[in-house]
């Protein structure tokens, strides 16, 4: 895998410069580690096999967690060391939700985080919205993570847009808030004594693209999905997140290190529009005990000219190795490179630098070809259990882009909006394999 140091920031347009000057950005880490490229050569090897293809799910037979809400991106309450937390016998999960009478494609525009709790890690009871009404930042909230320490829960989430905005925007900021957790027979799990909600990270334009840069001709913009991680080797604490490589389309190009070896480059054509695919997995290091101040670092992995979105990055450690996982869609790959909706992964002996694609091509879990959108937003638990949500199923040959043109009733009938059957994977050095299908929503 090609490794390179991040280049210095590119010059941005006057508007972006003005906004950056007025922002309160985290400290920049100078020369901290190296960024790894997921190359077109590596991605060209992506192939679905029996080891990485999930079994077909009959979405119509899967019972919904709650009839009142669509449920999608989901994450568990974890301890500081990454293990799944158990609070007075309860496991707790958090999900992006929207009322179930909203068209599935519109759910992201009004997403709120709700929580569920369970004694057995499988049968979930709805607790309610996480944040008190009106306190969360943004016009809606997107995915994040949650960590409990000494009875206090630290919530990290994506504040998307601005509260009260007249027109929906896609600004994305990473936010932290904390609260005490309480358990009672009457109310079940509740949260109280809330802190203020504080923005902890915004894109600074050196390592990660700002929204203003992304608006100058790129496909989309991302700075979201904060995921807390404590490095077991050092005890240092970090936030991982999804971002995009810095610069505007006019300032970027597909470099040799994005493509692959000299031999591969000699016979591989790279369409010009591939430069619009600039997904990255970002990282920032905590610099205070309250986890409200961070030093932003160069990306762990970039997918320049390969893929546009590397969503919900997270790390599982096993032995002395770091396993970095991320989700992406088949329509996010650059022209000339193809892959399924799937969970992809990389492995390294160090937290920063040295990441190589698992299984040679990075593919860990994919949907079956006959049901290519059945699940999404996979997240790997420390024991190898992988959770996801039931997405669009049995589309009768239609693509994801066709769904919004179908009758409303059809869209509701073909959307899951609940947790999918969990999977168990084995992880052995640089290889993974799906070994078992579990019941829906299993976090064991």
Q: Which residue has the tokens 């409303």?
A: 408
- Listing DSSP states for 222-266 in one string gives --EEEEEEE-TTT--EEEEEEEEBSS-GGG----HHHH--HHHHH
| pTM over the 0.95 mark | no
- Catalytically active residues are 73, 311
User: Which residues does the annotation place in the binding site?
Assistant: 72, 143, 224-225, 278, 309-311
Q: Residues forming the annotated binding site for Ca(2+)?
A: 278
Supply the range of the domain harboring residue 357. 3-440
CA 233 – CA 159 distance, rounded (Å): 31
- Give dist(CA 322, CA 415) in Å, integer: 34
Which residues lie across from 428 on neighbouring strands? 431
**Nearest of 112, 225, 229 to residue 158 by alpha carbon:** 225
The Cα–Cα gap between 340 and 400 comes to 12
Strands (E), 123-197: 125-129, 140-149, 152-160, 172-184, 188-192
| Assigned token pair, 227 | 């995921």
Give the CATH number of the domain where residue 73 resides.
Answer: 2.115.10.20
Residue among 266, 262, 220 at smallest CA distance from 244:
220
Full pLDDT tens readout for the chain, 444 residues: 433 333 333 333 333 333 333 344 456 555 456 899 999 999 999 999 999 999 999 999 999 999 999 999 999 999 999 999 999 999 999 999 999 999 999 999 999 999 999 999 999 999 999 999 999 999 999 999 999 999 999 999 999 999 999 999 999 999 999 999 999 988 899 999 999 999 999 999 999 999 999 999 999 999 999 999 999 999 999 999 999 999 999 999 999 999 999 999 999 999 999 999 999 999 999 999 999 999 999 999 999 999 999 999 999 999 999 999 999 999 999 999 999 999 999 999 999 999 999 999 999 999 999 999 999 999 999 999 999 999 999 999 999 999 999 999 999 999 999 999 999 999 999 999 999 999 999 998
Nearest to 300 by CA among 274, 322, 273, 328: 322
The rounded distance, in Å, linking the Cα atoms of 61 and 73 is 20
Q: Give the count of domains, the chain.
A: 1
CB contact burial 384-407 (16+ within 10 A = b; e otherwise):
bbbbbbbbbbbbeeeebeebeeee
């Amino acid at each position: 895998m090609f490794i390179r140091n991040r280049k210095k920031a590119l010059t941005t347009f006057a508007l972006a410069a003005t906004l950056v000057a007025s922002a309160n950005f985290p400290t920049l880490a100078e020369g901290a580690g190296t960024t790894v490229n997921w190359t077109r050569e590596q991605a060209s090897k992506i192939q679905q096999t029996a080891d990485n293809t999930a079994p077909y799910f009959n979405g119509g037979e899967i019972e919904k967690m709650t009839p009142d809400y669509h449920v999608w991106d989901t994450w568990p309450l974890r301890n500081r060391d990454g293990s799944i937390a158990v609070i007075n016998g309860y496991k707790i999960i958090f999900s992006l939700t929207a009322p179930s009478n909203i068209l599935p494609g519109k759910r992201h525009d009004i997403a709120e985080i709700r929580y569920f709790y369970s004694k057995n890690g499988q049968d979930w009871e709805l607790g309610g919205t996480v944040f008190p009404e009106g306190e969360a930042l943004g016009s809606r909230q997107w995915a994040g993570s949650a960590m409990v320490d000494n009875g206090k829960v630290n919530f990290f989430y994506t504040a998307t847009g601005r509260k009260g905005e007249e027109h929906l925007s896609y600004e994305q900021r990473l936010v932290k808030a904390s609260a005490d957790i309480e358990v009672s027979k009457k109310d079940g799990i509740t949260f109280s004594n809330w802190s203020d909600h504080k923005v902890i990270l915004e894109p600074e334009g050196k390592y990660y693209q700002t929204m203003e840069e992304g608006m100058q001709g790129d496909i989309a913009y991302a700075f979201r999905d904060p995921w807390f991680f404590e490095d077991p080797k050092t005890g240092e604490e970090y936030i991982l997140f999804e971002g995009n490589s810095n610069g505007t389309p006019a300032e970027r190009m597909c470099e040799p290190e994005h493509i692959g070896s000299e031999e591969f480059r000699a016979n591989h054509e790279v369409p010009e529009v591939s430069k619009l695919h600039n997904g990255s997995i970002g990282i920032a290091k905590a610099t205070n005990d309250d986890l409200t101040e961070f030093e932003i670092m160069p990306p762990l992995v970039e997918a320049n000219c390969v893929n546009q979105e590397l969503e919900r990055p997270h790390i599982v450690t096993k032995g002395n190795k770091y396993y970095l996982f991320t989700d992406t869609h088949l329509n996010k790959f650059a022209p000339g490179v193809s892959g399924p909706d799937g969970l992809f992964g990389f492995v390294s002996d160090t937290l920063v630098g040295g990441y190589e694609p698992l299984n040679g091509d990075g593919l860990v879990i994919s949907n079956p070809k006959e049901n290519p959108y059945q699940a999404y937003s996979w997240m790997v638990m420390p024991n190898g259990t992988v959770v996801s949500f039931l997405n669009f199923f049995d589309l009768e040959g239609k693509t994801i882009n066709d769904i919004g043109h179908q009758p409303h009733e059809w869209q509701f009938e073909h959307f899951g909006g609940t947790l999918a059957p969990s999977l168990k994977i084995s992880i052995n050095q640089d290889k993974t394999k799906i070994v078992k299908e579990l019941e829906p929503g299993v976090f064991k």
